[in-house]
Amino acid sequence: MSPEMSNSEIIGRTRDEMAKRVAQDIPDGSYVNLGIGIPELIAKFVPEGREFIYHTENGLLGMGPSPAEGEGNPELINAGKRQVTALPGASYFHHPDSFAMIRGGHIDLCVLGALQVAKNGDLANWSTGGPDAIPAVGGAMDLVAGVKCIFVVTQHCTKQGSPKLVDECTYPLTGPGVVNRIYTDLAVIEITPRGFQLIELSPGVSFEYAQERTGAPLLPIAP
């Protein structure tokens, strides 16, 4: 590891801290669908006194954490095909019912990862559109079309340093104008009719630092 990649250079929130920050904004009693990656970490950080019910689109409401070593069941898995558990009060159902929950507007909130989010709320998170890419969409388009509120949690920039928050998505869209809020390592941002409205900066991050790494204007926090 080169010196400039060492941990002392990391500015902003870690993946766990991002997940914890998202959890603070989820209302008590919400039915929540968590995407793959950082969104999965949110379940570890439910704030004291709140209860969320997790939906996984392959047919389970009331999903619990991973099973103890050796106690898993290959027929009890989540959408990422990892073994999970079912909490007291859980229910199983088939795919059309599961997607009726999503497409019928019954799920309150979905937290997804992103390749790009545009200032108008367009989301691209299923394909880079490359000629060699095998297209795979899963349930992402159903979730953004049907769930009442869409949060995105993502690193502010790609590993190569390009902004993921952009003026206009260059990758194929998952859905147009669907994102409500973005949680990154650097900031919390709301999508508004005027664009990216900054809600808060992560500790130690300046407005200029975040703006330089964003592909469209950031509207400053109202004084």
Partner 1 sequence: MIDKRVESLASAVADICDGATVMVGGFGEAGSPIELIHALIDQGATGLTVINNNTGSGEVGLAALIKAGRVAKMICSYPRSLNSTVFPELYKAGKIELELVPQGTLAERIRAGGAGIPAFFTATSVGTPLEIGKEKRTFGSREYVLEFGLSADFSLIKCKRADPYGNLIYNKTARNFGPAMAMAGKVTIVQSESIVPAGEIDPENIITPGIFVNRVVLVENPQHESALVAAGVSYP
The residues binding partner 1 (CB under 8 A) are 56-60, 73-77, 81, 86, 92-96, 98-99, 102-103, 129, 132, 134-142, 145-146, 172-177
173 token code pair: 């869209």
Beta carbon of residue 7, minimum distance to partner 1 (angstroms, whole number): 29
Beta carbon of residue 23, minimum distance to partner 1 (angstroms, whole number): 24
Comparison of 118 and 218: residue with beta carbon closer to partner 1: 118
Closest CA to 219 of 199, 27, 202, 203: 199
98 token code pair: 């599961």
Pairing of strands 109-112, 149-153: parallel
The 3-state DSSP class for residue 150 equals strand
Beta carbon of residue 125, minimum distance to partner 1 (angstroms, whole number): 11
DSSP 18-60: HHHHHHHTSPTT-EEEE-SSHHHHGGGGPPTT---EEEETTTE
Q: How many Å apart are CA 54 and CA 51, to the nearest integer?
A: 10
Beta carbon of residue 218, minimum distance to partner 1 (angstroms, whole number): 25
Q: How many Å apart are CA 86 and CA 131, to the nearest integer?
A: 40
Comparison of 93 and 209: residue with beta carbon closer to partner 1: 93
User: Among this protein's residues, is 71 annotated catalytic?
Assistant: no
Pairing of strands 60-64, 181-183: unpaired
Comparison of 44 and 82: residue with beta carbon closer to partner 1: 82
Strand partners, 26: none
Comparison of 27 and 177: residue with beta carbon closer to partner 1: 177
Q: Sheet of 149-153: strands edge to edge?
A: 85-92, 60-64, 53-56, 31-34, 109-112, 149-153, 181-183, 187-192, 195-201, 218-219
Comparison of 9 and 71: residue with beta carbon closer to partner 1: 71
Catalytic choice (48, 57, 168, 200):
57
Beta carbon of residue 134, minimum distance to partner 1 (angstroms, whole number): 5
**Looking at the annotation, which residues are catalytic?**
57
